[in-house]
Amino acid sequence: MTLFERIDLFCRRAVLDPLNRPRVLRWPPFLALAAIVGSYILLVSAEGHFAPWRLAQGIALYVGGSVAAALMRQMGPRLSPTQGRPLDERELTIQARASAWSGRTLSVSAMVGCFYMAYADWFHLWRPSTPLDWVFLGFILQSCSLLLPTLIASWIQPRPSADDED
């Protein structure tokens, strides 16, 4: 018995196999998205003065939201093929639609952000001013690009029926 076969057998016996089954996650991605956006607000809200506790809270919230986004991508709907199981036609369609909607959402958000940045000074609105604010914004966009396909794929699929066993 090889090492991988032993690990597989251990996962089946330890009841870890049901965790590997893809499932529809409708509301948990919204919580992760709220944590990621909230972390950006905490990280850039200390404009003008340094607040180490706010920075620590923002980083902790960002890391928690990003880890949750990565876990939801693994535990949510199948969007990438695994080693032993390629995506079927339905999963390929869901993956294509979710990726298209995710890309469209991010690109429209970037376009709206460009217009906002151009007119923020004119309307006396806040905009990122330090290089660190822009770095945080890049991290937020990166985390959202991981989370949005899972969120959209979960809402594209039909609701699971009540008689399905978990």
The reply to whether 106 falls in a domain is yes
**Model pLDDT for residues 143-159, shown as the tens digit of each residue:** 999 899 999 998 888 77
Instruction: Report how far residue 78's alpha carbon sits from residue 59's, in angstroms, rounded to the nearest whole number.
Output: 29
The reply to whether 83 falls in a domain is no
**Model pLDDT for residues 47-78, shown as the tens digit of each residue:** 667 778 888 899 999 999 999 998 888 887 87
The phi and psi torsions of 40 (rounded to 5 degrees) equal -65, -40
What per-residue string of b and e applies to 28-51 under the rule 16 or more CB within 10 Å gives b? bbeebbebbbebbebbbeeeeeee
The reply to whether 126 falls in a domain is yes
The reply to whether 134 falls in a domain is yes
Burial label for 72, CB within 10 Å (0-12, 13-18, 19+), is buried
Q: How many other β-carbons are positioned within 10 Å of the β-carbon of residue 117?
A: 12
The reply to whether 1 falls in a domain is no
The reply to whether 6 falls in a domain is no
What pTM value is reported for the model? 0.77
The phi and psi torsions of 8 (rounded to 5 degrees) equal -65, -45
The reply to whether 136 falls in a domain is yes
Give the H or E element holding residue 90.
Answer: helix 89-119
- Which residue segment(s) compose the domain that 69 sits in? 24-44+51-77+88-156
Sign of the CA dihedral running 148, 153, 158, 164: negative
What is the tally of structural domains in the chain? 1
Instruction: Report how far residue 91's alpha carbon sits from residue 18's, in angstroms, rounded to the nearest whole number.
Output: 19
**Model pLDDT for residues 23-46, shown as the tens digit of each residue:** 778 888 999 999 999 999 988 886
Instruction: Report how far residue 75's alpha carbon sits from residue 77's, in angstroms, rounded to the nearest whole number.
Output: 7
Instruction: Report how far residue 74's alpha carbon sits from residue 22's, in angstroms, rounded to the nearest whole number.
Output: 8
The reply to whether 100 falls in a domain is yes
